[in-house]
Amino acid sequence: MHEIEISELRRLTEVIKLYHNYDFTNYAISSFKRRVSRILDLYKIPSVDLLIKKIREEDGFFNTFLEELTVNVTEMFRDPSFWREIRDQVIPNILLNHNQISIWHAGCSSGEEVFSMAILLKEMGIHHKAKIIATDIDRAILDRAKSGEYQLKHMDLNEKNYIRFQGKSSLKDYYKEDNGKVYMDKSLVNNVSWREHDLVRGVVFNKFDLVLCRNVMIYFNQTLQNVVLKKIHESLFRYSYLCIGSKESLIWCEIANKFIVVNNEEKIYKKIKD
């Protein structure tokens, strides 16, 4: 496999933009390159030019490409101390002034974060007070999230996270097992609206008390992070909360002064200015 040139990646992004109206121009170059390289390996495609040809000419291949490109390895109750903070501090604070809570999972991937939130809300006895919107750029992964089907082999890690989160029962209470798969209890997500949405090019569509956009911006360069964070800022009520990934930061971005740090360790911020 030859080393992928920047010029090849540029041609690839131009074709994607032209034929499929997705803009990857400002993706973090090292991450984009690594993922494209993985796709070439995976599908035994000898060059970027042949990948471009496949994207242009093969019906349905672009969806496969998109799924591989935006794949997120995710788990339930990832970073258990973060989820404890959400349960013990953030949500009680929101409910001091509101009877209802609106939550946006931006870049929800295969839905583990959404189910974690649903379980947390149920155990707090406030599941019925929440309205949740879960979005992702990838239709196929959204369908997977919606189905609530996961591999049984992954549940061991999820259960360990749940125990460290100090949940009220056992994660097993929330799913049924069958033939190496688990099926999450569908009633957990009866208040969730699943939507296809491009964080970069999509419009601001609602206002929320809490936005989780975790481990999404690590794939964007600084220009793109600014674009996305401005939209998220607009999507929050004043004094509402934003949570980002543990390796992400708001410090340098253009809207940094419109937030205060609530918990630096867990990367939780509060909007203080419109």
DSSP assignment of 41-76:
HHTT---HHHHHHHHHHSTTHHHHHHHHHT-----T
Q: For 22-31, 213-222, 235-244, which range has the lowest pLDDT when averaged over its residues?
A: 22-31
For residue 184, tell me if it sits in a domain.
yes
Residue 146 has pLDDT above 60, yes or no: yes
pLDDT band at 158 (very low <50, low <70, confident <90, very high): very high
Report if residue 208 sits inside a domain. Answer: yes
- Mean pLDDT, rounded, for 166-172: 97
pLDDT value at 267 more than 70 = yes
Give tens-digit pLDDT for 44-96: 999 999 999 999 999 889 988 987 886 666 799 999 999 999 999 999 999 99
- Name the pTM for this structure: 0.82
Of 45, 69, 93, the domain-final residue:
69
pLDDT of residue 48: 95
- Within a domain: 27: yes
How many other C-beta atoms can be found within 10 angstroms of the C-beta atom of residue 200?
16
Name the domain count of the chain. Answer: 2
Find the mean pLDDT for residues 174-187: 97
The mean pLDDT value of the chain amounts to 93
pLDDT at 211 over 70: yes
Higher pLDDT, 12 or 27: 12
Q: Are 185 and 177 in contact (CB under 8 A)?
A: no
**% pLDDT > 90, the chain:** 78
- pLDDT on residue 218: 80
Q: C-alpha 247: how far from its chain's center?
A: 14
Domain that holds residue 60: 6-69
Sort residue 7 into left (φ over 0), alpha (ψ -120 to 50) or beta: alpha
Mean pLDDT of 189-199: 96
Token reading at 210: 């809490």
94 and 64 belong to one structural domain: no
Residues 147, 200 share a domain: yes
Q: Give the CATH number of the domain where residue 136 resides.
A: 3.40.50.150
Is 121 among the domain residues?
yes
pLDDT attached to residue 74: 79
Name the domain boundary from 69, 101, 117.
Answer: 69
